[in-house]
Structure 1
Amino acid sequence: MGTSIINDEKTTPSTTSPPDSNEVDNLEALGYTAELKRNRSLFTLLFQSLAIAAIPYGEGGPLISAIYGGGQLSIFVGWIVVLVLDECVALSLSELASRYPTSAGPYYWSFQVAKRHKTILSFITGWVWLIGNWTITLSVNFGFASLISATIAIYHPNFVASSWQLTLIFYAICLITFVICTFGNRFLPMVDTICAAWTAVSILIILIALSVSAKEGRHSASYSLGNYDTSFAGWGGFTFFIGLLPAAYTFSAIGMISSMAEEVSNPSVKVPKAMALCVPVGGTAGLFFIIPICVTMPPLADVIGAPSAQAIPYIFHMVMGSPGGGLGLTFLVLGITMFCSISITVAASRCTWAFARDQALPGSKIFSIVNKSLNVPVNALVLVTIVQMLLGLINLGSSSAFTAFVSVGVMALAISYAIPISLSLLWNKRQEVSQARWNCGHVVGTTVNVVALVWITFEVVLFSMPTALPVTEVTMNYASVVLVGFMAIAAIWYGIYARKVYKGPPSSDGFSNDQNTTNIPATSPAPAPASTPKLKPIFTPAPPKPKP
């Protein structure tokens, strides 16, 4: 690779210090002005990506899907399969993030690697990326509300939260997260570090507690890792793939960390490293979480009937044999989910701010403003919160709202990853990413690109399907409808106004693999900075031959 995945961490910039002059020059060479402080390091980026993955919540929140998908075999084998596939996605995105390290992320990458139709391709990518950020954040906060409701049921088994009660809990979570992300920005790198420690300790405690207690008994190794019951979903031989949903959901937001590129020093190396390390680190930790659950799992038919369709509180309660024991373990997962809510909301707000900065959103002038005293794009954060709260109203009319939110988020993020990866591989022939400071090389890079695109294609189909058959109006997966609706709004906006003002992000030749500088072609629409840095071109043309 152009740069090894692991090397020693250098000095971490102060949380209050202004950006280094080299970083400012580099960002200006990519076409933007530095507005955010670079207060994050490689490790805090990695911790934030792990906080977004939130292993116990990411796998545990939609665990019911894996039960429908056959049980232990789908949970265990599905986890390993998805780790391999999603690492291919992570490596593919890492190369692009290294070449073009800005908060704009996938839509900026699509613009740079496309040969033709750059503007419309970046607009489509940007809107799908934005929808994915909004809805995956919504799925975390709504899932958090469902988890709280299921936790109450540990002590009050007859309690079933009504749709409006669940919506109010969800609203409270959105508002609390908004306040923390707005006024606690300077402490968020520390919060991500605390989250990493909390998650590690929680997984260890859950591992020991379930293994020691096991009130529902301990299954044999063959049953714990190989039990496969196809009777719940009605999908026949396809049932196993339904069980992949929780694992795929856990690592679906791996690319969101790219939105933090303008808040870390040396982003062309640290951002791709954080992306590439998240899946193996999180995946290994996840095995210590799912194996004890598989070994001590109560009867699958009972788990499917868990309150609020949240399996984790029910499993903990049954396996521990007491409400207190179940509550204690569930509290650990609730803490992890709170950290996840904060981290993913921050990333979504940066994505929104970056897209508005390039005039792609209605009200771009408003949502591209950064509050100088708080060092936060507050207006973008407000928009993220309002969109979540409005979409949360879907819950009042459908009991499968959580499934829809999860599915839309995963599908939209996956599509936004696929567009720049496919453009880079098929259209650009990997010419740009091969020059990135952090790259996989031709053979490995091409392989992971192909695997990533095949997996994403299948993933989009998988998440558009209902979990179980037969399908009713209430249990239908409306993810495709929501996604198409969003894209219709984007198309109308583009036709009415955006096509007149959105010209794509600034052009740039990106970060090269032999220097920490960038190039700007003469045709770049980006405004020139006041003092243009001296930049060494990646390719130096030969001098003209003298005339005879």
Structure 2
Amino acid sequence: MSLKDDFDVDAVARTGLEKLGYKQEMTRKLNVSQQVTLAIMAVPYGLAAPIATSLVAGGPVVIIWGWILVSVLTQTLALSLAEICSKYPTSAGAYYWCYRLASPRTRLLASWINGWLTVVGVWTIALSVTFVESFEVILICLSAKAAAGRRPISFALGNFDPSYSGWTPGWSFFIGLLPPAYTFSAIGMIANMAEEVHNPSEILPKAMIWSIPIGALSGVVFLLPILFTLPDVAILLQVSSGQPIGVMFTLIMGSRAGGFGLWFIIFGIGMFCAISISCAASRATWAFARDKAIPFHQSFSKISPHLDDVPVNALLLSTVIQILLGLIYLGSSAAFNAFVGVAVMCLGASYAMPVAILLLNGRKDMHDAPFNLGRFGTVINAVAVLWIMFAIVLFSMPAGHPSHKNYASVVFVGFGVISALWYLINGRFYYTGPPITEESAGSSDFNRSDSPSFEGELKSRRSCMS
């Protein structure tokens, strides 16, 4: 694409953003490949870091077939979000979508709840990555060395032993879906980069949709050599840290040096992912501050013109929160693991909300979306919402034995209480939801019969924008 084409596309995107109620503050410089990378580059890390859960839950069958199952289910969510994002491409993301799709009586509260789910989710998912290229190297090393012995295809693709989990076989399999669900949990964060992307109505949906099959294939390539050379599971589960990936690589390679080399690759992938995730988290924080929904929003909504249009204050806020939460790891690994679980629960809930609202509206708001799911939209949306609801239940359950503790649901409710209190103290006085231009307010999605205060609200918002 030439510079002139870039300029023309960016001009259209700027006009479209203004129609959504925001002015262009960042430079559009990202393309689809960079957005897909944000979502998939951490597949090996996402699968490797919590692999103990899948080993406990049943081993190879859970690891490989659970990955494929979650990939298919997540594809329905990616398609659903891509459709909504194509019509509303803004860094505000899911909480903006909730506001535009919900009825006038419920949209303010819905967007507030969703916004806090989003920022808590992006802060904690970035934390989980930061604390704890490559496929070809791992594939060759594991397949060539196999110091712990080689496994037949019947074991690699068909062995299922849930005896370590303490759950019934069926439920044990589902508990083992936590690592793949964690790996794909940040798929919606692509939207938070919307205001830095050329032609976002086209590029963002493509990035969301294609990141799943590409990521799924990458995961299969990463997992198969592990499954065909997997050491004794009982030995791996005896690791005191609860993270057997290092021991697993050491046993397969037959030396500490070889094991460390492969572990270091996973660590490097995690670091690159941390950069991407932290970048997206800062944009989500900045967007929510721009709509006056977090404390000291005047400061955190500023863009630095001297640092390539980066929301530095929002980035610092996100980083400081991660550090403070990360300190909990020093005192309690169970508390730290709860933040990992709550990240997926918060992000999943924030993604499911606009899709569920869309379903309740009979999908009438998507008739003019640039990317449209057509007659399959209802089924795809319904499967996506049901999958997220089920995933939230999974992340509330003990990952190992039923007697173990899982504080994810407690942390999830705790953050919810904090956001509710902040709404009562401050939000209800200052938060009026995302802005509405007169042109967008006249569209069909705002001409709802249950909006007796629509005119007054519109005048108030126009006054605030001016």
- Do both proteins adopt the same fold according to a TM-score greater than 0.5, normalized to the shorter chain? yes
Q: Is the 8 A contact 2:32 2:203 kept in 1?
A: yes
How far did residue 309 of structure 1 move?
2.1
8 A contact 1:216–1:298 mirrored in 2: yes
Q: Separation in 2 of the partners of 1:384 and 1:520?
A: 33
Partner secondary structure for residue 36 of structure 1: coil
- 8 Å CA contact 1:508–1:520 kept in 2: the answer is no
Aligned to 2:432: 503
User: Residue 435 of structure 2: SS of its match in structure 1?
Assistant: coil
**2:358 aligns to what?**
424
Which residue is equivalent to 1:477?
406
Shift of 1:394: 2.2
Q: Which residue of 2 aligns with 1:444?
A: 376
Describe the SS at the equivalent of 2:108: helix
Aligned residue number for residue 413 of structure 1 = 347
Q: CA deviation at 1:507?
A: 3.0
Alignment correspondent of 2:72: 84
Q: List runs of 5+ in structure 1 lacking aligned partners.
A: 1-9, 144-197, 512-516, 532-548
The match for 1:108 is: 96
Aligned mates of 2:439, 2:254 — CA distance in 1: 57
User: For the structure 1 residues 12 and 411, does the alpha-carbon distance in structure 2 shift closer, same or farther, using more than 3 Å as the test?
Assistant: farther
Alignment of 1:160-199 (within 5 A): 198=133
Within the alignment, does 1:231 sit opposite 2:163 as a pair?
Answer: yes
Letter in 2 for 1:376: V
Deviations 1:234-268 (A, max 9, x none): 11221111111111110011000100000001101
Secondary structure of the residue aligned to 1:437 is coil
Secondary structure of the equivalent of 1:94? helix
Alignment of 1:184-333 (within 5 A): 198=133, 202-237=134-169, 238-306=171-239, 308-333=241-266
The 3 A distance-change label for structure 1 pair 304 and 219 is: same
Give the aligned partner of residue 494 of structure 1. Answer: 423
Report whether the alignment pairs 1:20 with 2:10.
Answer: yes
Q: Which amino acid in 2 is paired with 1:73?
A: V
Higher helix share: 2
Partner of 2:109: 120
Query: Residue type of the partner of 2:44?
Result: P
Separation of aligned partners in 2, 1:120 and 1:430: 21
Alpha carbons 2:39, 2:211 under 8 Å: kept: yes
Counterparts of 1:36 and 1:477, CA distance in 2: 40
With the length of structure 1 as denominator, give the TM-score of the two structures. Answer: 0.78
Change (3 A) 1:526 1:99: farther
Q: Deviations over 1:52-73 (max 9, x none)?
A: xx11101001001101111111
Aligned amino acid, residue 104 of structure 1: A
Partner of 2:26: 36
Q: Distance in 2 between matches of 1:349 and 1:502?
A: 20
1:4-19 equivalences under 5 Å are 10-11=1-2
Question: What code does the residue aligned with 2:431 have?
Answer: Y
CA–CA distance in 2 between the matches of 1:292 and 1:510?
55
Matched, 1:376 2:365: no
Q: Does the 8 Å contact 1:96/1:433 carry over to 2?
A: yes
- Contact persistence 2:39–2:184 (CA under 8 A): no
What letter matches 1:501 in structure 2? Y
CA distance in 2, matches of 1:529, 1:498: 16
Q: Would the alpha carbon gap of residues 486 and 529 (structure 1) be closer, same or farther in structure 2, given more than 3 Å must change?
A: closer
Q: Deviations over 1:386-439 (max 9, x none)?
A: 11111123223322244212210100011101110000111x211122311012
Q: Supply the distance in 1 between the matched residues of 2:10 and 2:461 (Cα, whole angstroms).
A: 21
TM-aligned CA distance change 1:229 to 1:56, over 3 Å:
same
Change (3 A) 1:221 1:486: same
Q: Establish whether residue 57 from structure 1 lines up as the match of residue 57 from structure 2.
A: no
Q: How far is the alpha carbon of 1:525 from its aligned partner?
A: 5.8
Corresponding residue SS for 1:279 = helix
Q: Answer yes or no: is the 8 Å Cα contact 2:83–2:205 preserved in 1.
A: yes
CA pair 58-12 structure 1, distance change in 2 beyond 3 A = farther
Q: 2:107 is aligned with what amino acid?
A: K
Q: Contact between 1:130 and 1:351, CA under 8 Å: does it hold in 2?
A: yes
1:388 corresponding residue in structure 2: 322
Tell me the number of residue pairs that the alignment of Structure 1 and Structure 2 aligns. 452
Please state whether the residue corresponding to 1:231 is helix, strand or coil.
helix
Q: Which amino acid aligns with 2:106?
A: H
Please state whether the residue corresponding to 1:298 is helix, strand or coil: coil
The correspondence of residues 87-98 of structure 1 with structure 2, limited to 5 A, is 87-98=75-86
What one-letter code is carried by the residue in structure 2 that aligns with 1:292?
P
Normalization by structure 2: what TM-score?
0.92
**Using the alignment, how far apart are the partners of 1:463 and 1:400 within structure 2?**
13
State the Cα distance separating 1:470 from its structure 2 match: 4.6
Cα distance in structure 1, aligned partners of 2:97 and 2:30: 22
Q: 5+ residue gaps in structure 2?
A: 448-454
Q: Deviations over 1:292-341 (max 9, x none)?
A: 11111111111112353222221111100011111211121111111100
Paired with 1:246 and 1:215, the residues of 2 have a C-alpha distance of: 26
Is 1:509–1:518's contact at 8 Å kept on the other side of the alignment? no
Q: Which amino acid aligns with 1:468?
A: G
The question of whether the paired residues in 1 share the 8 Å contact of 2:245 and 2:263 is answered with yes
- Residues 526-545 of structure 1 mapped to structure 2, 5 A cutoff: 527=462
Q: Secondary structure at the match of 2:411?
A: helix
Alpha-carbon contact 2:365-2:445 (below 8 Å) kept: no
Over the matched positions of the two proteins, sequence identity in percent amounts to 48
Q: What's the RMSD between the two structures over aligned residues? A: 2.5
Residue aligning to 2:123: 134
Q: Does the 8 Å contact 1:112/1:507 carry over to 2?
A: no
